[in-house]
Chain A
Amino acid sequence: MESKVSENIRINAANIAHKELNSMVKQAVMRGVKRIELFNVHGQRYIGTDIFEPVEITIEGTPGNDLGAFMNGQRLLVYGNAQDGSGNTMNGGEIIIHGHAGDITGLAVRGGQILVRDDVGYRAGIHMKEYKEKKPVFIVGGTAQDFAGEYMAGGVMVLLGLNLEPGSKHNSRYIGTGMHGGIIYIRGDFEDYQLGKEVGVAELDEADIKQLSGLVNIYTGHFGGDATSILNGKFKKLYPRSLRPYGRLYAY
């Protein structure tokens, strides 16, 4: 008689080092487990890395740096805040963070979706990129600290500014510095000096509104809120003024 593998397991991460925890997860996935719940997570790194099945991992606690690094098609749900480097060079899948996320969240992301309910730290989405059908999406419910979208080369980033006090502006400076691809949709006020030199500002056209509407609905689908009233806010589109800003820097 064939033994049936349990579809779900729960793992207590208390006092377990990151290598051990990640190998427990990997072994469970290799046994055929589809949903893994980790609880008491306290800073273990690289959760979601090195897994080749489309599983869902729920994380209660504070996952460590490089959450979902190089991930390819898994789904991570974080009930807590994330630290630095979540989604590092992720190729596909979803990271959904019910809290805030630290610096360099979504660095060099190549595909998939990152959703952060609240704020993100410095250099969010630094060097995100896209290629053909691989087009990463990074949605932030709150605001970002400096250098959001730095060296951005592709994909879509959304800053919803939902937690900004009425009358206050986004705090981020150097938004999109070095940007040469992709799009940032930003809701709420900012000054021109907060943008990198390579960034252009435009109103949204119909195609933008259609795309944005889908993204906001994804956000509210996870975190709640009224998509229509969010979409009624004041949005601007930030785009790269050149796809090759420094092509002639070293050429005479």
Chain B
Amino acid sequence: MAPMLPPVAIVGCGGLGVPAAWTLAVAGVRHLRLFDPDRVEGSNLHRQVAFGEHDVGQPKAEVLARFLRRHVPGLLVEPVMSRVGADDLAEALAGFDAAIDATDAGDAKFALNDWAIATPRRRTACLAAAIGRTAQHFVVTPTSACFRCLFEAPPPRVRLATCATAGVLGTVTGQGGAVAARALVRALRGEPDAATGALVRLTPRGWLRTAVTVARACACAGTLAASA
């Protein structure tokens, strides 16, 4: 029998968060906490496929929770209609050792990465993103390289294109979020996965992997040694 999967928090209930939550639920995660401050808008519907036209105006986290309960009976889902950032992440995720960042904010990914590599290092985080026809994810485990080993710091916000400026395909966020969650599930089970300590990208040419080694100067190197 497969080992029980621990509770998972999902930060962001949009194009990536919906397929990620759905995948985690059907994979056997029994407890999910969903964070999103926004309400469903008409422009979300092409990619956030848990939401229908009658859901417009309702809180995304609550609508997604209802969708998940309907599809996976017995699932414990806690919708939280608030934004979480670096300042309140530890408190919001108290009791959780696994989480996915499914937001479109670069700094949120670094915040969750830092939550994962904090001492004592025991947490697992998946950092997902999508834009246009591309998606990517990176899984940080207690013994892997981290997101800062690859990117030292978030880029300035003004430099980043967003889905609102560059657009995005729903089928791309669907694959991106679902494969990211699949990678997290495999990491939580202790199974080798392409995204553990590596950047896995979906491009119009297909899926690609970039392995990342622990950077000596990275903050995670110290916590990695402490957990070894």
Question: Do A and B interact?
Answer: no
A-to-B contact residues, CB < 8 Å: none
